[in-house]
Amino acid sequence: MNKIENNKAWFLVLPVFILVAFSAIIPLMTVVNYSVQDIFDPSTRYFVGTEWFVQVMHDAELQAALLRQFVFSLTILSIEIPLGIGVALLMPTKGKAASLGLILVAIPLLIPWNVVGTIWQIYGRADIGLFGAALNAIGIEYNYASNPTHAWLTVVLMDVWHWTPLVALLCYSGLRAIPEMYYQAARIDKASRWAVFRYIQLPKLTNVLIIGVLLRFMDSFMIYTEPFVLTGGGPGNTTTFLSQSLVKQAIGQFDLGPAAAFSLVYFLIILLVCWLFYTIIMNMQNDKRG
């Protein structure tokens, strides 16, 4: 007997498609339209083809911002992923302590991005901030407002404090999903703590870590509010990332055509790097299975 297919479920996801069309596709098409035009005012515009894309690709300032962006993203990934795994392994798993640990770890994630920048702006000041005053007290002349190295390290530290809990919570959920029989077998074989982590926990966390790496890369590559509030992109252009350069060009200079071309290049870079990350990680996972 042939089963009759019921396609009524598509009506449940139809509102989602409509919402995505209005919130993503239509604005994207608008940006594509702007990227090939020279706009003088709402009624005066000229078609320029790929001129803005060529200009963006040869812009030395944007190239420098792209390099800073990659260095920043790779730096925070190399810190937050191992640190998040370590925090997840140390978190309690039973009783009230587990609930309390989850709440405490999640607190930084609940703070708005602009508030995070303000907190670290105050925290790092040498006159009233605990962090800045403590460093100066031990002989380190710390000043994130004038020292490029200090500004860079402060932005990295701020991001690590703000977003490592996300990686920790993802890894914690992955660890809790591992069946108890794996640990029982390890205890029978008298496996060391490192062996349990290496051969049981880490392989089971692969899918969770893929999500964590992709989420953190995409978010770090689009960072704007926190460094803007903390340093304003300075000193100089030390902490000026791609998003800040884009906003400066689109709003500060009102160059809508180049800014639209820049945003499309920005979007394609994120897609390409995420695809590369995903492909490399999945190939490594398939090699282990093979």
Condensed to tens digits (0 to 9), the pLDDT of residues 117-132 reads: 888 888 888 888 888 8
Q: Cβ distance 68 to 234 under 8 Å?
A: no
Whole-angstrom Cα distance, residue 94 to residue 34? 55
Can you give the pLDDT at residue 42?
67
Does the pLDDT of residue 288 top 70, yes or no?
A: no
What the chain holds in terms of domains, given with CATH numbers, is 60-289 (1.10.3720.10)
Section 156-175 average pLDDT: 93
Q: What does the pLDDT look like over 61-115, one tens digit per residue?
A: 888 888 898 899 999 999 999 999 999 999 888 888 888 988 899 999 998 888 8
Q: What does the pLDDT look like over 13-42, one tens digit per residue?
A: 788 878 877 777 778 888 888 888 887 776
